[in-house]
Structure 1
Amino acid sequence: MLLPHINTPRCTGCGWCVAACPPHVLSLQVVSWRKHSVLHEPDACTGCSLCARRCPFGVITMIKTPSPLAEVPSPP
């Protein structure tokens, strides 16, 4: 599964990625008077990469993560 990785120090908090996210799993968070994007619901992310394509500053990259279903051992 692909999930967005946000380079927080470079994120300007413009919100374009949040607006482009169809399942609405990204949000803007304020830390020390500075906004940046946060993936708040990784389980609901579809991996569509619209957020990464819409980011005007190129701070979002899609990274491959293990599927949660792949980690569940099958019954004996």
Structure 2
Amino acid sequence: MTAPRPSPALPRIDPGRCTGCGWCVPTCHVHLLSLQVSGPEGRKTSTLRDPQDCTGCAKCAVRCPFDAIAMVRRRSPPQG
């Protein structure tokens, strides 16, 4: 059995735009998104755990009503 190929793109979450609404969390079928509390005011933001397991489906970016998630292409490893 071969190892799964990494996705060509990963979600990048803009903490300045993320409101912590959590709408993106249930769209991740591999359960890599969660809400984390940060800062002294206890502000919630979405966080991507284990990016190597992300499938790159972009459902989280599509679902975000605040355009806080953008899909960003992964860098290709150097060939050699």
TM-score, scaled relative to structure 1: 0.85
Structure 1 residue ranges (4+ consecutive) displaced by more than 6 angstroms after TM superposition? none
More helix by proportion, 1 or 2?
Answer: 1
Secondary structure class of the residue paired with 2:31? coil
Letter in 2 for 1:46: T
Match of 1:26 in 2: 33
Q: How many residues align?
A: 71
Query: For residues 1-76 of structure 1, what are the structure 2 equivalents within 5 Å?
Result: 1-32=8-39, 33-66=42-75, 70-71=77-78
Give the whole-Å Cα distance in 2 for the aligned partners of 1:18 and 1:71.
Answer: 33
Letter in 1 for 2:9: L
TM-score, scaled relative to structure 2: 0.81
Give the whole-Å Cα distance in 2 for the aligned partners of 1:72 and 1:43.
Answer: 19
Q: Contact 1:26/1:41 (CA < 8 Å) preserved in 2?
A: no
